[in-house]
Structures are given as structure tokens and as C-alpha cells.
Structure 1
């Protein structure tokens, strides 16, 4: 490519669906006989490159790519594992597992078990089975029983029966869990979030809180996640990029509204203040405006 028109790249990729971007990739290859991602990779750099290449990946390929980067090398990005596995649907998890195997010739469960341990590992493996009930049915009797068992597994005993938290939080559907949490509040006088914080710690606490907070559309947790990405000592670009790329065409309007309600500032203004250059421009386009 003789020179790069970043403005055109931003204008096209930030305003197309994932399916349309795949069609663009195919048309580019037919026209010039080269892969568009490879060509852009040779021309772009830094976080702008990461956003552009992420946008060109189908959703499960992007999830697999992020998970592989979270696992490989020294150390593990536990936050990435939690964010993706706690927020995806059963079908999405099955798809990303297949892509992970295809792209890297590795088994995702084996890699996660090799990089994590204890109950945190067991929760991640449970999520990887893609076996959560995805109906909207609420069993009132079971909800009361679940709440009672969670209370007896935590607040009501010395030590914590972590397996019971795994069994309920990783298996029940969202509507049922909301009822469980309400019943738990009646029994214990506490929110389930407070009890998890009192009884757990570290990555196990983080993943159980994430499971409790994520709704099927990921809105509840995204504003808090994005706030972590753009506050403090500089921007945590990996989180910011991952959320903006993966949610731009799904629920960005809802995320922006929730972000404004939670923090009294627009997501647009947060991004504008903490990023720069073409990286800022494409994120702002993905954000979709000030309001």
C-alpha cells in the first residue's frame, strides 16, 4: 500500500457491521490478491492498529485472540478471562472455543487449567462448558432454596463452601439469579455482592462478582469496566480496546447511557480526555457521538 489514509480507514471500519467488514476483507482479497489485515498490519502501529485489526475479526475469532494473549507468555491476564467468559452466551462460548482450537491448535480448557488454579480455575472451566440455563424461567421454590444454601455456605458458617457459589452462579439463568439475590437479601440482610466480598478474595471474588453483575447483554458491568480503563494512572488500553471493539454494534447506546448515569460524565468525554491521535478518533467513532 502506497501510503495510508487513516481517515478513510476510520470512516469505513467504524461504521460497518462485523458481517460487512468480512465482506470488505473478501472483496479486497479478490481485487488485489492480498489479505487486508496483513496489509494494514504493515502500515499501522500501536493502539490504532490493534483497534483496526480487532474490528476486522469475526467476534469469536476476536474473543479467541484476546484469550490467547491473556494466557500465553509470562503471567496471566485474569481480568480478560473473567470479562469474556462471564459475559458470553453459551453459543458464543462454544464458538470461541472452536476458533481457539482452529486458530492456535490448542485446547482452551487445557490452557486455562495450565495457567490458573484452585476454585478460580474450576469456575472458569464451568463457564467454558457453556451449560448455563438460558431460559427466562424462575422457579420460586428453588430460588428460596438456592438463597438459603448460599447463606449457609458463606455468612452462616465458619469458612466458605465455595463450590455452592459455583453451582448456583454458573448454572442458573439470569432471571432466576435475580430472584435468588432478592431472597438472599431477605435471609441475610446483605446484598450477595457484599457477602462475596466478605467471603472471597482475589480472582475468585472477581469472577463471582462478574457473574453476578453481568446481564445477558453485558451492560451492567461495562460502564464500571470502562471506568477502570480510563481512570487512574493512564488508560488501560487493552480493556478499553476490547470493550469498544466487541460491543460497538451490540449495546453501545445502552452502555453509554449507563456510564453517564453511574459517573455523571459521558463515555465520549472520558475517551477524548485519555486518548489521542487516530486511536482516539476511531474510538470516538465507535462510541457514536457525545450523547
Structure 2
């Protein structure tokens, strides 16, 4: 994760006093009714590390679990955002992945989003924590819930073993571009394994150079070829990988836009992206959103969402 405050909208709160914050939260939940504004004011203006200290001091001062108390006081989307903010990034990802897999149906978009956008260290921490939390490996759960090439792409990403260097081998980039062209556009049918072997292994800088070379050879972007050659979840997964290699903030800006456009809101995606990126690169995502859609993220959330959870998301967006 990026350094605190580097490109996030949530920064370390100066004059932070975890015991005072714990007392404010207890007061907000004690007695009849809940002071949701007080909860929002504290939790959206503290970093993950500061919230963890508040949670510890809450238990020390009151002998109560802060997350359990919050859950008993709030519900719905408001609860979902607040509980997400109280988790560490790794634990939040782990629970989002589990929720995407368990029960009837699978949230493929969630699986793709997390596994395609996290770095090797983050993926490895997710895998270890998932096993510890649920007693079953993430790979086993993925394999039990997905199939065919889509499954293989997710399993590959879940190894957390991508080259994370920045070296570009010019000849290899040209060879990779040619291989991708011959695996798709140039032949009848598609060699999906060739796409997986290149897109899930090479480092981002090398891939960006290979994508440039691919456009020269195929006379179209790699995304256009994936859309023409693949379909369904496999198409979505490989497109997500390409977009993350090219411009991660733009990928998340698109995820946010897609979650809010049209009738109804994909609350799970909207909340997950806002919670998971607010301390990492939300400033970059905001800029990408404005550039791509000609409207601020703040105004889009303001016009699309309703209820108290909107206040939290507007705060996490960093304002107008």
C-alpha cells in the first residue's frame, strides 16, 4: 500500500487522541438512538492505523468490541462502509473475496478486481490471511467456484508471483506482441493460454511496451482484440489485467462509473473501491474520473447515492 497520505484522500489526523476518539464513539452509540454524524466525523478522518488504535483503546476503556457495537447500532450500506473502514486492508480484501465466493452465485467482478489490482506482497498476505481466517485456501475456494480458463487466470493471479521489476526487454516485448497477435487475431479460435502466460507474468513497464508493439502489428489496441476474441468472465479478467498494467487509477475510475451509471447502483462495488482506495490513490482516481467522464466523482456520488452512507462516500472522495 502507498505511504499514508501520499495519494489518498484520508490523511493522518493531527492531534490524534485515540482515547478521546474511543470515548466519542461510545457516546455516539450509548443510550437511545445513534449519532451517525459523530461516527462519520471520527472514522472518515482517521487513517487505518489510527482506527486500529481507537479499536484497541475502545476495548481497553469499555471492555467492548468496537466493530460489534457498530454493527449493533447501524445497518445496510452504512454498516458495510463503517465495518470496512474498521478492517485492515488485507482483512477487508479477504472478507470481500469470501463474500464473493460463498452462497449462491459468484461475484466474478469482485474476484477479478482484487486479484488483478493488488501487488505481490498484498496478494501473498491475502492468501495467508484467508487460510488462517477460514481454514481453507483461497485457491481451493476459487477452484470450487469457477471453471475453465477464467479459473486458471484467477489461480495464476493468486500466486502473487508477477515480475515487479521495471526492465523492458525490447526484443521480448516484440516477441510477446507477436505471440499475442498470433494467439488471437491471426488464427481461427484463440489460444487463451498464450494470453495468460504473458499478461499474468510480465512486469507492467514491459507489458506497456508490448501493448504499443501489439497496436503497431494488429492495428488495434490489445483491449479491442480481447473483446473480439474472448467473452464472459475470462474477457473481463484479462481486460482488468491489461487496464491495471496500463493505468490503475483509470481502471478504478471505470469501476466506480460502472457501479453508478444507469438504473440502480452496484453498492458492493462502489463501497469496496471507495473503502479500499481512499488511503492509497483516491486523488489519482478522482482525476482519472473527471478526465474520462467530464464530471467529478463527488458530484456523481451525490447524484446517485441516497441514505446516510452517501455522507461517508462523499467524505472519502475528498470533496468537490
Shared fold (TM-score greater than 0.5)? yes
8 A contact 1:83–1:210 mirrored in 2: yes
User: How many pairs were matched up?
Assistant: 290
1:114 to 144, 158, 161: 144
Instruction: Tell me the distance in 2 between the aligned counterparts of 1:85 and 1:194.
Output: 22
Q: How does 1:77-226 map onto structure 2 within 5 Å?
A: 77-215=107-245, 218-226=248-256
Say which SS state the counterpart of residue 209 (structure 2) adopts.
Answer: helix
Identify which range, 100-109 or 23-32, moves more after superposition. 100-109
Matched, 1:260 2:299: no
1:218 & 1:101 partners in 2: Cα distance? 27
* Unmatched segments (≥5 aa) in structure 1: none
Are 2:173 and 2:210, in contact at CA under 8 Å, matched by a contact in 1?
yes
Q: CA deviation at 1:216?
A: 8.4
Would the aligned equivalents of 2:116 and 2:241 in 1 still touch at CA under 8 Å? yes
Quick one: which of 259, 272, 278 aligns to 1:229?
Answer: 259
Give the match for residue 95 of structure 2: 65
In 2: Cα distance, 1:150 partner to 1:215 partner:
16
Decide whether the 8 Å contact of 1:89 with 1:216 is kept in 2. no
1:20-64 deviations in Å (ceiling 9; x for gaps) = 111111110111111100000000011011000000000000000
Is residue 71 of structure 2 the alignment partner of residue 41 of structure 1? yes
Q: Which residue in the other structure is 1:31 paired with? A: 61
Q: CA deviation at 1:187?
A: 1.1
Structure 2 spans left out of the alignment, 5+ residues: 1-29
Flag the 1:203–1:40 CA change in 2: closer, same or farther, 3 A. same
Contact 1:217 / 1:251 at 8 angstroms: preserved in 2?
no
Distance in structure 2 (CA, Å) of the matches to 1:6 and 1:218: 33
TM-score of the two chains, using structure 2 as the length reference: 0.89
CA distance in 2 between counterparts of 1:278 and 1:199 reads 43
Contact 1:87–1:216 (Cα < 8 Å) also in 2: no
What are the superposed Cα offsets for residues 45-86 of structure 1, whole Å, 9 maximum, x if unpaired?
Answer: 110110000000000000000000000000100000000000
- Backbone CA RMSD of aligned residues: 1.0
1:286 aligns with 2:287: no
Does the 8 Å CA contact 1:160/1:199 hold for their aligned counterparts?
yes
TM-score by length of 1: 0.98
Higher relative contact order (CA 8 A, sep 6+): 2
